[in-house]
Amino acid sequence: MSGTDDNTPTEAEKLGGSGPTTTEAPEPTTPESAGPSRSHSMLREIASGNALAGVLAVVLAVAVGSLMIALTDERVRETTSYVFARPGDFFQATWDAIWGAYTALFRGAVYNDRVDDFATQIRPLTETLKFAAPLIAAGLGVGLAFRAGMFNIGGRGQMLLAGAASGWVAANVELPTALHLPLAIVAGMVAGALWAGIAGVLKARTGAHEVIVTIMLNYVGFYLVFFMLSRQELLQAPGSGNPKSAPALETAVLPKILGERFNLHLGFLLALVAVAVVWWLLGRSTLGYRIRAVGENPSAARASGIDVGRTYVVVMLIAGALVGLAGANQVLGTVTSGVTVDLDAGIGFDAITVALLGRSRPLGILGAGLLFGAFKAGGFSMQASEGIPVDIVLVVQSLIVLFIAAPPLVRAIFRLPAKEAK
């Protein structure tokens, strides 16, 4: 135990001030008292850690990212060779590299001050929102499952199946827009829900661990969609030899909400609606209450008459539908030229990070999704204008996860007190 912990009261002790017999006597902060399911509670702590930890993780990741930018920059390396002769050069080069990189990221993600026309200036922001939409929707799907104590690692498979279903409806059904578009979206959400529901049913009925099931379903989903895309009689575009479906019909494409000059489409508004729905579901509805009860303490939920298995199934269905919305968003809005097995573009996995960073709370996920959308949009411009490999952005994203997963490390670096109340 470090020196800083000794004088730090736990929450219990603080509360004791207002009613001395209220609380347990302070216990030494030993992890042993955590009980048998320590890995489970650890994962839960990571999934629901406090907001400050998330912010600090981002700060740290950006800081380490700066180091990487400096290390990979050619001018910095040149100046290093004579750093003792002319240290000024070295620091100037380092500063230029880091400043250049992050301003390029900002210009690519939020506001480009290097062009005159206002529409072009704010175009990056609309790109960020476009990239954020599927991350938010899928992040909600992962986060909702977290809240029920389940780890939905199957975002990729769920998105692929959803994309395939949406893509098929978009390309093969002829209806007016008012019906066609909703039908295509719903088809994707249903497909995602059913694919995720498999994991829910298996867990409820047989106790199969959802992490393993969802990971394996990613592979099954990938090859299943690949197979369907390679068969003329199934999904493959007529007359084509590539594993790709026919493009979506106009009537099923998500309309652009800021006119043709911007790529931002209706999918972002749908993601916002999803945030609102999940917020209501978790905080205000009885179903959400039961989901949280099951996630926090399944045995108490069971002893109180809540059907835990059924809750697992329901949660996975809703989670899959949300991830499915992300898949539909991709196929009907972002890339409408036809479904391929690349449609998930890593979103299925990034959604896990988004949910972690957003602490599995709807508004947190919204913020984290926007941040990651900005990374995606800005990463390209960083590479284009500064020659910094886009991988740096991926490294920063990964570092965020790493720092979130290691709360003691973050606490030690920022000298925060040991974990208090959630």
Partner 1 sequence: MKLVLRNITKRFGSLVANDSISLEVSPGEVHCLLGENGAGKSTLMNVLYGLYQADEGEIVLDDQVQHFTGPGDAMAAGIGMVHQHFMLIPVFTVAENVMLGNESTGVAGTLDVAAARERVNEISERFGFHVDPDALVEELPVGVQQRVEIIKALSRDAQVLVFDEPTAVLTPQETDELMQIMRQLKEAGKAIVFITHKLREVREVADKITVIRLGKVVGEAKPTATNAELASLMVGRPVELVVHKDEPQLGDDALVVQDLRVRDALGRVHLDGITFTIRAGEVLCVAGVQGNGQTELTEAILGLQEHVEGSVTLDGKQLVGRSVRQVLDAGVGFVPEDRQEDGLVGGFSIAENLMLNRSFRSPFVRRGSLRRDALEEFAEQKLKEYDVRAPDIHTHADKLSGGNQQKVVVARELSRDLRLLVAAQPTRGVDVGSIEFIHKQVIATRDRGIPVLVVSTELDEVVALADRIMVLYRGQVIGIVPGDTPRETLGLMMTGERPKDMIA
How many positions of this chain bind partner 1 (CB under 8 A)? 47
Q: How far is the CB of 147 from partner 1 (least distance, A)?
A: 11
Q: What is the CA radius of gyration of the chain?
A: 24
Contacting residues for 10 by C-beta, under 8 A, at least 6 apart: 26, 29, 418, 420
Count the neighbouring beta carbons within 10 Å of the beta carbon of residue 29.
Answer: 13
Q: Of 54-62, 297-305, 315-323, 347-355, which segment contacts partner 1 by CB under 8 A?
A: 297-305
Contacting residues for 31 by C-beta, under 8 A, at least 6 apart: 38
Distance CA(204)–CA(186), nearest Å, equals 25
Distance CA(151)–CA(143), nearest Å, equals 9
Q: How far is the CB of 77 from partner 1 (least distance, A)?
A: 44
Q: Of 28 and 259, which has the nearer Cβ to partner 1?
A: 28
Among 120, 297, 337, 398, the residue binding partner 1 under the rule CB under 8 A is 297
Q: How far is the CB of 296 from partner 1 (least distance, A)?
A: 4
Q: Of 291-299, 366-374, 384-392, 396-404, which segment contacts partner 1 by CB under 8 A?
A: 291-299
Q: Which two tokens stand for residue 338?
A: 């036809």
Does 289 bind partner 1 (CB under 8 A)? Our answer is yes
Does 205 bind partner 1 (CB under 8 A)? Our answer is no
Q: How far is CA 232 from the centre of its chain?
A: 34
Question: Contact at 8 Å (CB) between 322 and 140?
Answer: yes
Residues β-bridged to residue 245: 236
Q: Of 77 and 284, which has the nearer Cβ to partner 1?
A: 284
3-state secondary structure of 256: strand
Q: Of 26-34, 56-64, 116-124, 371-379, which segment contacts partner 1 by CB under 8 A?
A: 26-34
Among 40, 209, 256, 292, the residue binding partner 1 under the rule CB under 8 A is 292
Does 31 bind partner 1 (CB under 8 A)? Our answer is no
Does 39 bind partner 1 (CB under 8 A)? Our answer is no
Distance CA(136)–CA(322), nearest Å, equals 9
Does 13 bind partner 1 (CB under 8 A)? Our answer is yes
Q: What are the CB-based long-range contacts (under 8 Å, 24+) for 81-88?
A: none
Q: Of 232 and 304, which has the nearer Cβ to partner 1?
A: 304
Task: Give the distance between the most distant pair of CA atoms in the chain.
Answer: 79
Among 159, 293, 319, 332, the residue binding partner 1 under the rule CB under 8 A is 293
3-state secondary structure of 253: coil
What part of residues 63-122 is at the interface with partner 1 (CB under 8 A)? Answer: none
Q: How far is the CB of 33 from partner 1 (least distance, A)?
A: 5
Does 290 bind partner 1 (CB under 8 A)? Our answer is yes
Q: Which residues bind partner 1 (CB under 8 A)?
A: 1, 6-7, 9, 11-28, 30, 32-33, 280, 284-287, 289-290, 292-293, 296-297, 299-307, 421-422
